[in-house]
Structure 1
Amino acid sequence: MAAEQAALGEILRPIRGRLRLAVAAQTLSAIAGVVPFIAIAELGRVLLGDGADRSDRAWTITAVAVGALFVRLALMLAAGALSHFADDELQSHIRRGMVARLARVPLGWFSARNSGTVKKAVQDDVDAMHHMIAHSLLEMTSATVVPVVSVVYLLWVDWLMTLVTLAPLVIGLGLYSITMAQMAKHLPDYDRAMGEINASAVEFVQGVAVVKTFGQTHRAHQKFRDAADDFAAFFLSWVRSTVHSKAVAEMVLSPIAVLLAVVAGGALLVTGDRLAGVDLLPFALLGVGLTAPVLALFYASYELRFAKAAAARVGEVLNAEELPVAKEPRTPAGNHVSYQGVRFSYDGEKEALAGIDLELAPGTVTALVGPSGSGKSTLATLLPRFADVTGGSIGIGGVDVRDLALDDLYRRVAFVFQDVRLTQTSVADNIAMARPGASREEVIAAARAACVHEEIEALPRGYDSVVGEDARFSGGQAQRISIARALLADTPIIVLDEAAAYADPQSEAEVQAALSELTRGKIVLMIAHRLSTVVEADRIVVLEDGAIVEEGTHPELVARGGRYARMWQAHERSTVWQPHRGTPDPAAGTAQVGGISR
Structure 2
Amino acid sequence: MKNNIFSKIAVFGQKYKTYFVVGIVLGSIGSLLNVVIPNMIKNIAALISQSLYTNVMDFDAIRVVAIKTAVVIIISFIASYFGAWCLTIAGQNMVKDLRSALNDKTDRVKMNYFDTTALGDTVSRMTDDCDAFSAAISSNLGKAVFSLIIVLGCLIVTFVINPLLAFCSIASILLGLFINASFAKMGTNAIKEQRRLLGNMNGMINESITGHMLIKAFNGEEEVLGQFDEKNQDLSRALFKSQFFISVLTPFMDFVSNFTYVVVCLVSGIMIILGKMQIETIVAFILYIKMVTSNLTQIIQALGSIQPGIACGERIMEYLELEEETDEGRENVSKTEGDVVFRNVRFGYVEGQIVLKDFSAHIKPGMKVAIVGPTGAGKSTLINLLMRFYELNSGSIIVDGVPIKDIPRSKLHDLFAMVLQETWTFKGSIRENIVYSTKNVDDEELEGVIERAGIKFLVDAMPDGVDTVLSETANVSSGQKQLITIARAMLKNSPIMILDEATSSVDTRTEKLIQKAIDDMTKGHTSFVIAHRLSTIKNADVIFVLKDGDIVETGNHEELLDAGGFYSELYKAGLDAT
1:266 maps to which residue? 268
For the pair 1:548 / 2:557, whether they are aligned, the reply is no
Conservation of the 8 A alpha-carbon contact between 1:106 and 1:385: no
Conservation of the 8 A alpha-carbon contact between 2:434 and 2:485: yes
Change (3 A) 1:23 1:45: same
Change (3 A) 1:206 1:145: same
> Where do residues 513-528 of structure 1 align in structure 2 (5 Å cutoff)?
513-528=516-531
Q: Which residue among 140, 144, 150 is the counterpart of 1:140?
A: 144
Aligned partners of 2:239 and 2:316: how far apart in 1? 30
* CA deviation vs aligned residue, 1:213-258 (integer Å, no higher than 9, x gap): 666755654555566567667877x59986997686244134x444
1:159 maps to which residue? 163
* CA deviation vs aligned residue, 1:451-480 (integer Å, no higher than 9, x gap): 111112212211111222664522111110
More moved, 33-42 vs 407-416: 407-416
> Where do residues 219-368 of structure 1 align in structure 2 (5 Å cutoff)?
221=225, 224-225=228-229, 238=241, 249-254=252-257, 256-315=258-317, 318=320, 321-324=324-327, 326-332=329-335, 334-347=337-350, 350-368=353-371
Q: Give identity over the alignment, percent.
A: 24
Return the letter of the residue paired with 1:268.
Answer: I
How many Å apart are 1:34 and its aligned residue? 2.5
Conservation of the 8 A alpha-carbon contact between 1:434 and 1:488: no
* CA deviation vs aligned residue, 1:53-84 (integer Å, no higher than 9, x gap): 97776455434423322321332233123213
> Where do residues 8-27 of structure 1 align in structure 2 (5 Å cutoff)?
8-27=9-28
Return the letter of the residue paired with 1:299.
Answer: Q
Conservation of the 8 A alpha-carbon contact between 1:333 and 1:398: no
2:75 maps to which residue? 71
Aligned partners of 2:202 and 2:126: how far apart in 1? 22
Aligned partners of 2:356 and 2:22: how far apart in 1? 56
1:131 maps to which residue? 135
* CA deviation vs aligned residue, 1:266-290 (integer Å, no higher than 9, x gap): 2233223343333211122222222
How many Å apart are 1:541 and its aligned residue? 1.5
Change (3 A) 1:290 1:366: same
Aligned partners of 1:41 and 1:470: how far apart in 2? 70
Question: How many aligned residue pairs are there?
Answer: 573
Conservation of the 8 A alpha-carbon contact between 1:424 and 1:466: yes
Change (3 A) 1:323 1:504: farther
Return the letter of the residue paired with 1:155.
Answer: F
Conservation of the 8 A alpha-carbon contact between 1:8 and 1:308: no
2:542 maps to which residue? 539
Return the letter of the residue paired with 1:36.
Answer: I
Aligned partners of 2:423 and 2:212: how far apart in 1? 24
Aligned partners of 1:432 and 1:208: how far apart in 2? 31
Conservation of the 8 A alpha-carbon contact between 2:372 and 2:531: yes
More moved, 128-137 vs 214-223: 214-223
Aligned partners of 2:71 and 2:182: how far apart in 1? 42
Return the letter of the residue paired with 1:282.
Answer: A
**Unmatched runs of 5 consecutive residues or more in structure 2:** none
Conservation of the 8 A alpha-carbon contact between 1:175 and 1:245: no
Return the letter of the residue paired with 1:77.
Answer: Y
User: SS of the residue aligned with 2:440?
Assistant: coil
For the pair 1:62 / 2:66, whether they are aligned, the reply is yes
Return the letter of the residue paired with 2:24.
Answer: V
For the pair 1:369 / 2:372, whether they are aligned, the reply is yes
More moved, 287-296 vs 108-117: 108-117
Conservation of the 8 A alpha-carbon contact between 1:11 and 1:315: no
How many Å apart are 1:498 and its aligned residue? 0.8
Change (3 A) 1:228 1:379: closer
Aligned partners of 2:103 and 2:177: how far apart in 1? 44
Change (3 A) 1:215 1:419: closer
Q: Which residue among 177, 181, 204 is the counterpart of 1:177?
A: 181
* CA deviation vs aligned residue, 1:347-375 (integer Å, no higher than 9, x gap): 56544333221111123221122233322
Conservation of the 8 A alpha-carbon contact between 1:19 and 1:86: yes
* CA deviation vs aligned residue, 1:351-400 (integer Å, no higher than 9, x gap): 43332211111232211222333221121122233334343222222122
Change (3 A) 1:233 1:346: closer
More moved, 426-435 vs 225-234: 225-234
Change (3 A) 1:219 1:349: closer
How many Å apart are 1:417 and its aligned residue? 1.6
Change (3 A) 1:10 1:306: farther
Conservation of the 8 A alpha-carbon contact between 1:23 and 1:137: no
User: SS of the residue aligned with 1:502?
Assistant: coil
Aligned partners of 1:235 and 1:114: how far apart in 2? 21
Q: Which residue among 479, 482, 487 is the counterpart of 1:484?
A: 487
Change (3 A) 1:20 1:381: same
Change (3 A) 1:561 1:400: same
TM (normalized to structure 2)?
0.86
1:392 maps to which residue? 395
How many Å apart are 1:18 and its aligned residue? 3.4
Aligned partners of 2:239 and 2:317: how far apart in 1? 32
For the pair 1:415 / 2:418, whether they are aligned, the reply is yes
2:514 maps to which residue? 511
Change (3 A) 1:472 1:30: farther
* CA deviation vs aligned residue, 1:473-517 (integer Å, no higher than 9, x gap): 221111101111111122221111011123233322111111111
How many Å apart are 1:196 and its aligned residue? 7.7
Task: Let me know the Cα RMSD of the aligned residues.
Answer: 3.7
How many Å apart are 1:430 and its aligned residue? 1.6
Aligned partners of 2:497 and 2:521: how far apart in 1? 8
TM (normalized to structure 1)?
0.83
1:380 maps to which residue? 383
More moved, 300-309 vs 403-412: 403-412
1:591 maps to which residue? none
More moved, 330-339 vs 449-458: 330-339
User: SS of the residue aligned with 1:324?
Assistant: coil
Return the letter of the residue paired with 2:483.
Answer: R
1:594 maps to which residue? none
Conservation of the 8 A alpha-carbon contact between 1:164 and 1:262: yes
For the pair 1:34 / 2:38, whether they are aligned, the reply is no
Q: Which residue among 487, 496, 500 is the counterpart of 1:497?
A: 500
Change (3 A) 1:392 1:48: same
Change (3 A) 1:512 1:200: closer
How many Å apart are 1:264 and its aligned residue? 3.1
Conservation of the 8 A alpha-carbon contact between 1:325 and 1:402: yes
Aligned partners of 1:307 and 1:5: how far apart in 2? 10
Conservation of the 8 A alpha-carbon contact between 2:328 and 2:408: yes
Aligned partners of 1:93 and 1:348: how far apart in 2? 36
Conservation of the 8 A alpha-carbon contact between 1:531 and 1:571: no
Aligned partners of 2:289 and 2:556: how far apart in 1? 90
More moved, 201-210 vs 520-529: 201-210
Aligned partners of 1:445 and 1:394: how far apart in 2? 34
For the pair 1:45 / 2:49, whether they are aligned, the reply is no
* CA deviation vs aligned residue, 1:118-158 (integer Å, no higher than 9, x gap): 54444444433322332112101122011111111111111
Conservation of the 8 A alpha-carbon contact between 2:429 and 2:468: yes
How many Å apart are 1:44 and its aligned residue? 1.1
**Unmatched runs of 5 consecutive residues or more in structure 1:** 576-586, 589-598
Return the letter of the residue paired with 1:48.
Answer: S
Conservation of the 8 A alpha-carbon contact between 1:108 and 1:386: no
